[in-house]
């Protein structure tokens, strides 16, 4: 389950049976950012449950040399065979010792995207692999007016 990289002490999540830990680094201010084969586990507060953000729900991740900023999407509906998603506000994770985490996150997010384009209404249509599942999911990120 750990894949050679140990989980940080106090990790409150439960990994899936085939989920492997790729990296774990401390976040300034507390907690750890845990990168696995299935997604990203952000640090949680004392009253929050640990949760994984699947790679197919990371809309964008950027590294500025000090912090990793992640934009997570929520599935908010459907449109035919497509899942409609909406972005959450960006989360910033200052990483004093980032190790390979920015590169791993970038690679995993990029690998999840097979194809993207704008439709006639200006919405972004993305075909993505969903970690741990066969096939491809079509996502529609609606434009906001």
Residue 4: predicted pLDDT: 73
C-alpha to C-alpha distance for 39 and 76, rounded to whole angstroms:
19
First-to-last alpha carbon distance for the chain, in angstroms, is 44
Give me the residue spans of the domains in the chain: 21-141
Query: In the predicted model, what is the mean pLDDT of the chain?
Result: 93
Selecting from 3.30.70, 2.40.160, 2.30.29, 3.90.930, what CATH number does the domain 21-141 have?
Answer: 2.30.29
> Does residue 1 or residue 128 have the better pLDDT?
128
Q: What is the pLDDT of residues 73-82, one digit of tens each?
A: 999 999 999 9
pLDDT range class, residue 144, cuts 50, 70, 90 = low
pLDDT in tens, 24-65: 999 999 999 999 999 999 998 878 899 999 999 999 999 999
Predicted confidence band at 2 (pLDDT cuts at 50, 70, 90)? very low
Starting from the edge strand earliest in sequence, which strands make up the sheet with 39-41, in order? 21-26, 32-36, 39-41, 53-54
For the segment 134-139, the average pLDDT, to the nearest whole number, is 94
pTM: 0.91
């Amino acid at each position: 389950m750990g894949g050679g990289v140990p989980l940080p002490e106090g990790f409150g999540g439960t990994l899936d049976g085939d989920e492997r830990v790729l990296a774990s680094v401390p976040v300034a201010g507390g907690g750890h950012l845990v990168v696995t084969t299935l997604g990203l586990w952000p640090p949680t507060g004392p009253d929050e449950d640990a949760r994984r953000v699947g790679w197919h729900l990371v809309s964008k991740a950027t590294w500025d040399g000090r912090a990793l900023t992640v934009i997570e999407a929520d599935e908010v509906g459907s449109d035919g065979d497509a899942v409609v998603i909406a972005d959450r506000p960006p989360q910033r994770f200052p990483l004093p010792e980032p190790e390979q985490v920015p590169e791993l996150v970038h690679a995993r997010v990029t690998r999840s995207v097979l194809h993207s384009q704008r439709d006639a209404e200006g919405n972004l249509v993305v075909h993505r692999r969903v970690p741990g599942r066969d096939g491809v999911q079509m996502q529609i990120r609606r434009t906001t007016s």
